[in-house]
């Protein structure tokens, strides 16, 4: 058992992923800015469950700004946030999930 625990610890640190205990977000450059701006209204699990590219992250932010009362960011802050999000929670293009069925193939 001990060996397994030790191995797990070693693997995790080799992997290099450290998780912020407060939010569950990955510890990386920009985390403080993301924490300050993105966890006020909802939990960070919205972020950790998303896998988006930079444009899609920007679109999500614009959507919240237009419809959910998210405040505007200055360009530097926005860049830090987008870089953090698209690096730590990037688009998943390795999904093995089959594409959605087209509407005409679904039961009526
Ligand atoms: C002013 C409040 C507010 C702030 C601040 C905020 N959000 Fe949101 N966000 C929302 C609301 C409201 C929803 C929709 C919740 C729901 O669907 O129940 C949402 C939804 C989301 C979703 C899910 C979108 C989807 O398609 O389901 C993601 C991802 C997200 N937010 C990320 C972020 C990120 C990243 C930030 C920081 C840049 C942020 N949020 C800051 C209000 C906020």
Q: Ligand 1 in contact with 41 (CB < 6 A)?
A: yes
Q: Ligand 1 in contact with 46 (CB < 6 A)?
A: yes
**d(CA 43, ligand 1 centre) in Å:** 9
**Domains defined for the chain, CATH in brackets:** 21-93 (1.10.760)
Q: Which protein residue's CA is at the shortest distance from atom 19 of ligand 1?
A: 64
In this predicted structure, what is the pLDDT of residue 101? 74
Instruction: Grade residue 9 by pLDDT with cuts at 50, 70 and 90.
Output: low
**d(CA 73, ligand 1 centre) in Å:** 15
**d(CA 3, ligand 1 centre) in Å:** 41
pTM for this model (two decimals): 0.80
In this predicted structure, what is the pLDDT of residue 54? 97
pLDDT digits (tens, 9 = 90+) for 10-69: 555 556 789 999 999 999 999 999 999 999 999 999 999 999 999 999 999 999 999 999
84 CB burial (10 A radius; 0-12, 13-18, 19+): buried
In this predicted structure, what is the pLDDT of residue 11? 52
Q: Which ligand 1 atom is the nearest neighbour of the CA of 50?
A: 29
Q: Ligand 1 in contact with 29 (CB < 6 A)?
A: no
């Amino acid at each position: 058992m001990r060996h397994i625990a030790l191995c797990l610890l070693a693997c995790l640190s080799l992997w290099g992923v450290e998780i912020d205990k407060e939010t569950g977000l990955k510890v990386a450059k920009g985390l403080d800015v993301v924490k300050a701006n993105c966890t006020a209204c909802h939990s960070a699990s919205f972020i950790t469950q998303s896998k988006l590219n930079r444009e899609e992250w920007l679109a999500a932010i614009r959507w919240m700004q237009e419809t959910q009362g998210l405040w505007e960011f200055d360009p530097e802050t926005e860049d830090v946030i987008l870089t953090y999000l698209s690096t730590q929670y990037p688009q998943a293009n390795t999904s093995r999930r089959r594409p959605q069925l087209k509407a005409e193939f679904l039961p009526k």
